Structure 1
């Protein structure tokens, strides 16, 4: 009789174990699908933020118009209006100080995001030359938080702030 009970318990445990494995397989399969979708969204947000940060931190006193246009093409809302209103001042200051700045993104992280909005933290370095630094150039370190929104099929920057 004990042998029968033992077999029944083992059989029940095997059924429970198979049920758990099937359940885990279903959960993992659906999680992989969700992760793939999230990964693509994160990738899209990150790519747009990287491009905007590089455009924002790049300066060339000899050719500012395409650089300002690049920032504006990746911008929207209040940020776009503010940047656009500073266009003449940014250009004249770059020319006056003979400024150049070559930027690189060294780290990037997508924070909270939805299908239509996301925040990105960026660490970037920029080598700056101007009338103060001379030809040697000076490395500057930036930490930025970009807020992005989806407009149609594009992610655009709606806000840029410097963070510590």
Structure 2
């Protein structure tokens, strides 16, 4: 490649680089307004997913019924049926092991979303105590994938899975 060709290539790359930097600057500048719009559009689904993840991860061996009811209040379909069918087992095991779990959502991201469905990934930590921990709280780390559907203007969890 000759000197002239190299200078054209270098000049072309410089123009592309400047264009890219300008575009990045525009994206960064306008990203706040785009995020605000996305946040407004996703606010309901994010709130529903956060509430369901917290309800799902909360355990108190002294009073499981309202905790299970809270999960079911945000659930629908097969997930609600499966969770309801485990009510007695969940309560019995929590009491047997004297379990408590106090969760916090540390990150949440709304993935695919349309008018009637959404996928949300949740990272949560929970301080767990039970007979196996000797009464000492141990932090557990959970990653959840929630599939939500819109029913009667409410976002409900149709599927919840642990992910790695």
Query: What is the TM-score normalised by the length of structure 1?
Result: 0.77
Aligned residues: CA RMSD: 1.7
User: Secondary structure of 1:92's partner?
Assistant: helix
Deviation at 1:121, TM superposition (A): 0.3
**Deviations 1:39-64 (CA, angstroms, capped at 9, x unpaired):** 32311100000000000000000000
**Structure 1 runs of 4+ off > 6 angstroms?**
none
Q: Paired residues, what number?
A: 133
* d(CA) in 2 for partners of 1:99, 1:39: 36
Deviation at 1:136, TM superposition (A): 1.3
Which residue does 2:163 correspond to in 1?
Answer: 163
Q: Which runs of 5+ in 2 are unaligned?
A: 1-29
Which residue does 2:42 correspond to in 1?
Answer: 42
Query: What is the TM-score normalised by the length of structure 2?
Result: 0.77
* d(CA) in 2 for partners of 1:89, 1:61: 12
* d(CA) in 2 for partners of 1:157, 1:130: 28
- Asked if 1:95 is matched to 2:70, the reply is no
Which residue does 1:59 correspond to in 2?
Answer: 59
Max Rg structure? 1
The within-5 A match list for 1:10-21 is none
**Would the aligned equivalents of 1:41 and 1:115 in 2 still touch at CA under 8 Å?**
no
